[in-house]
Amino acid sequence: MIHIVFNESEVRLMQEVAELDETLRGEVLLIRDDFAVGPLAMLDTEEGWQARLNWWKELSQGSPYADNTAGIDDRVTVSRIIELLNETAEEEVWIWMGQNQHDVMGYYWLMPQLRAFQGRVMVLYLNNLPFINEKGQIFYPSWLHEIQPREFIKAKKLARPVTLSEFEIDPDEWRRMAEENAMVRILEGGKKIAGKEESFFDGEILKNLSADWQKATRVLSNTLHRMKIKTGDLFLMHRMKQLVADGKIEITGDAGKSWKDFDVKLPSAAEPVQETGEKAAQE
């Protein structure tokens, strides 16, 4: 059994789950890229893939991850998956997804590459399902890491093979999104992904600014914590710097260095933003 997850914290989570239920023991592999943001054009070519890597490299400048982006290639992980499937005819892949665009986009990216193994690729999409939290309350998680390890023992019953129809339709959906090449993609329900403009999350950033100077990292942390539709810190900081360049945020310090090296605030004449990017998009 090969488990595929899309967030680093979930690697250890699935290992803990396997310690509770030996029937779930298997190698846990991580797809690192967040295909919900950034360019998708021609990712099946070396040129397109390198363009995406260069985009991430540019965003990571000055970040805590600047030295960790080299050598990360999810294509190597897929090659490992295919190798394991070819080695053992009984081997299965279990793809674990939460109800968020990050996981669903990772799933879509995998589908064209695993089509040859139809019947051996299982999916566990934990969408619109109630779970019990640490306080004993029912809640509906959006991310796997929100679920307690023991709850996965029940969730494994939801595993089902990716159907032949899905292996035909889902690669077409990936192709559509790659051709559209929107810079932001959000989940609208089920597995429906919608492309949005690059500025989609700008309102969330501005909403966490005031007329007083704040560390950029504090604004980033508050935005990540409060926003309902989530994205990663690299993309949010990229947008914050663009808002600075557009004159919508005032800055003191040097945004070209570390994230910790500059403070931000609303321009003197600006009023705090009340609407989020999510609400504005709905309207």
pLDDT, tens digit (0-9, with 9 covering 90-100), for 211-243? 999 999 999 999 999 999 999 999 999 999 999
Q: Count of CB atoms within 10 A of residue 65's CB?
A: 15
Angle of helix 46-59 relative to helix 233-245, nearest 10 degrees, comes to: 70
The pLDDT, as a whole number, for residue 90 is: 93
Q: pLDDT value at position 69?
A: 63
pLDDT at position 272 is 56
pLDDT at 280: 46
Question: 244-278 burial, b for 16+ CB within 10 Å, e for fewer?
Answer: beeebbbbeeebeebbeebbbbbeeeeeebeebbb
Taking alpha carbons only, the member of 182, 213, 13, 2 closest to residue 92 is 2
The pLDDT of residue 268: 84
Q: What are the structural domains, with CATH classification, of the chain?
A: 2-178 (3.40.1360.10), 202-282 (1.10.10)
Please, what are the averages of pLDDT over each run of 10 residues along the chain (283 residues)?
Answer: 95 94 94 97 95 94 78 90 95 96 98 96 93 90 93 90 96 96 96 97 97 96 96 96 96 92 87 52 46
Instruction: Determine the pLDDT at residue 133.
Output: 86
**pLDDT of res. 275:** 52
Q: Which two tokens stand for residue 68?
A: 């960790």
